[in-house]
A = this chain, B = another copy of it.
Amino acid sequence: MEETPRNSQTTRAILQLRELILNGELKPGERVPELGIVERLGVSRTPVRLALARLQEEGLVDCLSTGGFVVREFSEADIIDAIDLRGALEGMAARRCAERRLSRADLAEVRDCLGSLDSLVRRPALSMDDFSDYIRLNDRFHGLLVELSNSPVIQRSIERMLHMPFSQPGAFVLVQSELPESREILFIAQDHHRSIVEAIEAFEPGRAEMLAREHSRLARRNLQVVLKSQRHLQRLRGSSLIRLAEDA
């Protein structure tokens, strides 16, 4: 998933800096001082600088015209767009999967993942760990579709998106798990998964694409719920980056 398998220092800086921002230790609009980060991370300015450039590409920070960077802020519209974008890209990936003949092994892997999700969703009650497992499996499912699209260009594009907060497939699952209708949503999501695989196996590219897109609307729905409740918002990773629409 990480596109720089290269060794440490710069990579370390990227990961830790991302954590710092997503955990809200750097607030939106706040300038990110190189030296301050150097102190916190214990690496020199060069990798920090590299990391900042990278995070700018990812969209977590904006660069000031005067030089330096600030933590970016995300509006509700931004998040919706990010989700839509992921939907569109995953839609392309699903279409590609349906257009080409997946190998037996590939199909088996997808079906295996689908099966695991099935048995998980159907448990009588879901623990916290179960939800973690769900996120893991869900990520794997989405990752498989992208990988099996057999398109490095699409793959790269999606992987870049996934670095943005709130665009991961499982971004809202943990908070959603606290909703009363949580179970229902999982059923629907899993039905989407099943239908997508069905479309791929039946060589129905248009349907596969459409379903993948529609699937992403679940995230959008969850977003709306989360944004309405301060309690849920607190449990959302990266929530400190969200600018709530002030209704005056």
Query: Which residues of A line the B interface, CB within 8 A?
Result: 4-6, 49-50, 53-54, 57, 59, 63, 65, 67, 77-78, 81-82, 84-85, 88-89, 91-92, 151-154, 156-157, 160-161
Quote the shortest CB–CB distance from A206 to chain B (angstroms).
11
With contact pairs A50-B53, A53-B53, A88-B88 given, residues A81 and B5 touching in the complex (Cβ less than 8 Å): no
Contact (Cβ within 8 A) B85 A154: yes
Bound form: Cα–Cα A222–B3 in Å: 32
Quote the shortest CB–CB distance from A80 to chain B (angstroms).
9
Task: Chain B residues near A81: list those with CB within 8 A.
Answer: 151-154
Task: Chain B residues near A78: list those with CB within 8 A.
Answer: 152-153
Bound form: Cα–Cα A81–B154 in Å: 7
Quote the shortest CB–CB distance from A139 to chain B (angstroms).
21
Bound form: Cα–Cα A152–B72 in Å: 12
Task: Chain B residues near A151: list those with CB within 8 A.
Answer: 77, 81
Bound form: Cα–Cα A49–B49 in Å: 11
Known: A57-B160, A88-B89. 7 other contacts (CB 8 A): A4-B63, A5-B65, A53-B53, A53-B54, A59-B153, A81-B152, A88-B91
